[in-house]
Amino acid sequence: MTAAGRAGRAAGRRLSQADVGALQAALAAEQAAAYGYGVVGSHLSGTQAESASADWIAHQSAADKLDGLLAAGGATASPAGVAYQLPGAVHTAAQAVALAATLEDQVTSAYLDVVGRGSRDLRMLAAQQARAAALRAARWRGTTVAFPGLPGVTH
C-alpha cells in the first residue's frame, strides 16, 4: 500500500487525539513555511527565486494534503494565520536563504513528530515529507547534517 493510501485509510476513520495534535502541528509548520517563502522569494532573484517559488508550492500542496487528512478524520484543521512571526529580520538575500533553511528545519521536525507520536498509518507519509523537507533545507544551506529534524541528537 502506498503512503498516501495508508494515510487515507487512517483518515477514513476518526483520528486519535495524538494524530490530530501531531497533524495540526505539521499543518502549522507548513502554513508558516508557505507564508515565510513569500518573504524569502521577495528577496531573491533568478534561479533562487524560482526555487523559492517551487518550494512555496510544495508547502501549499502539503498543507492542503494535511487539511484533507484532518477533515477526513473528523477533525477541524486550524486555519492559517494572517501573518507569522519570522525567526529573524530578512533584509538581504543571505538572510532570505537562511530563513528558507530554518523553515524547512521546522517542517522536518514537525513531520518527525508525526512519525514518533502519530499512528502507524501516518508514519510513511510523514517520513517521506520529512525527507523532502530535509533535502530542501540542505539545498538552501549548502551543507548537510547527520540528524535532520532532530536537533537534540547531535552525535
Site size toward another protein, by CB under 8 A:
31
Would you say 46 or 152 has its CB closer to another protein? 152
A 10 A CB-CB count for 79 gives 9
Residues 109-128 that bind another protein (CB under 8 A): 111-112, 115-117, 120, 123-124, 126-128
In the set 10, 20, 134, 140, which binds another protein (CB under 8 A)? 134
How far from chain centre, in Å, is Cα 76? 19
C-alpha cell at 42: 521577495
C-alpha cell at 22: 501531531
Alpha-carbon distance 137 to 139, whole Å? 5
Applying CB under 8 A, the residues found at the interface with another protein are: 108, 111-112, 115-117, 120, 123-124, 126-128, 130-131, 133-135, 137-139, 144-150, 152-155
